[in-house]
Amino acid sequence: MTIKPFKLERYYSQYEFTAKYSLCNSDCEAMSIGDLLAMEEGATEKFHQHWLGYTETKGHPELRRDIAATYTNILPEDLLVFTGAQEPIFLFSQAILKAGDEVIIQFPCYQSVQSIPESLGCKVLNWTVRYDNNVPTFDIADLEKLITNKTKVLYLNTPHNPSGFHFSRAEQLAIIEIARKHNIIIFSDEVYRELEHQPQYTIPGFGDLYENGISLGVMSKAYGLPGLRIGWLATKNKAILEQVAILKEYTTICNSAPSEFLAGVGLRNRDKLLARNLQIIDSNLPLYDRFFEKYAHLFSWYRPNAGPIAFVKMNFEMDDMVFADKVLKEKSVLLLPGGIYDYPGYFRIGFARNGIPKALEVFEDYVESTMIPNLKS
Ligand SMILES: Cc1ncc(COP(=O)(O)O)c(C=O)c1O
């Protein structure tokens, strides 16, 4: 199998731990094991006694019960637990697709849904974001035009990385109707679900609503626990789950037992985790509002109604990769340039980390000291 390098992950492995400030992370602020365990009475004691044997391939039954509680129709037996969200994207695609199949992806995208099907010999068709007055949308009429009798899977991602777009309930139902009519599997990457900025923007998981829908979830983003490396697939389609389970026995076999325990604590306390993380988002968004209002001649942003990230348009002539590189070299502030997504002229920002106010201050210093004088000269 030949597969393209994952540009975003390569970029992060190069700079994430060396840049002093980051303005672009997509995960919420993490916490220590001690702080997580303190959320539940008796959890510290139980964690120390937790058994370090192999666990069930499907995921610990108690953990699957806790994950099922985050859906409406999904039951513990409709779940398969994995190492993060990346493993199930990889294994689902390997299990379900064959050369010649067509898949549709939202573009730009988190690269795995593009590169893995391509590596399998599939034709990948882009359902490309449209910007209307700087507001991103995915037009359902555009989607319908991409469907043929070879379309096997529609990969969705909502809230969307990188645009921040989030489907409404009406759009969700319309997409399911189309998929049902053409017998298309929906693989819905919902790693940012439950980070809707207001309750009215919440939509159910696709796995809850559609018999051939699969919801991808993870502890990494909304719950801010990426170090656990616990993710899952949720679907009523038993045949798909079984095909993927067979492949998982060739990769990780089962999950890390301590991580499964800790993920359970996180999920049982998810209301507290989400309230904390939404509060961080709520406090950072006004800082960006002020920044983008002040520098409207340089940048335009769409303020999302869900999720921890947004895509910022550059209103000046410079390659986005060059721009990000300059900001990094001069101020040690990490931005995620659109070139990483093959979508130039933009960069991604994040707003669910405690370090954002300081990182934005240093970025503003770059704008004032370097960009503004250059524009004037
Ligand atoms: C949309 C999307 N899906 C999947 C992943 C992978 O998640 P994880 O790192 O938990 O495997 C990411 C990570 O950034 C993502 O943004």
- Angle ∠(49,50,56) on CA atoms, nearest 5: 160
In the chain, the amino acid numbered 362 is V
pTM of the model: 0.98
Token pair, residue 261, equals 């325990």
Main-chain phi, psi angles of 198, to 5 degrees: -135, 145
- Residue 18: count of CB within 10 angstroms of its CB: 9
Contacts with 8 (C-beta within 8 Å, 6 or more apart), sequence order: 110, 111, 336, 340, 341
**What is residue 375's predicted lDDT score, i.e. its pLDDT?**
77
> What CATH number labels 43-270?
3.40.640.10
**What is residue 377's predicted lDDT score, i.e. its pLDDT?**
63
Token pair, residue 87, equals 């493993």
Distance CA 32, CA 225 (A): 9
Distance CA 224, CA 353 (A): 9
Main-chain phi, psi angles of 135, to 5 degrees: -100, 125
- Which protein residues are within 6 Å of ligand 1, measured from CB? 26, 84-86, 110, 157, 161, 189, 191, 218, 220, 226, 231
Give 220 Cα–ligand 1 centroid separation in angstroms.
Answer: 8
Q: Which ligand 1 atom sits closest to the C-alpha of 83?
A: 11
Q: How far is CA 69 from CA 27, 78, 79, 266, 271, in A?
A: 22, 12, 11, 12, 12
Q: Which ligand 1 atom sits closest to the C-alpha of 85?
A: 11
- pLDDT, tens digit (0-9, with 9 covering 90-100), for 250-272: 999 999 999 999 999 999 999 99
Q: Which fold has domain 7-32+271-369?
A: Aspartate Aminotransferase, domain 1 (3.90.1150)
Distance CA 317, CA 301 (A): 17
Domain positions in the chain are 7-32+271-369, 43-270
Main-chain phi, psi angles of 203, to 5 degrees: -125, 155
Regions of the chain with pLDDT less than 70:
377
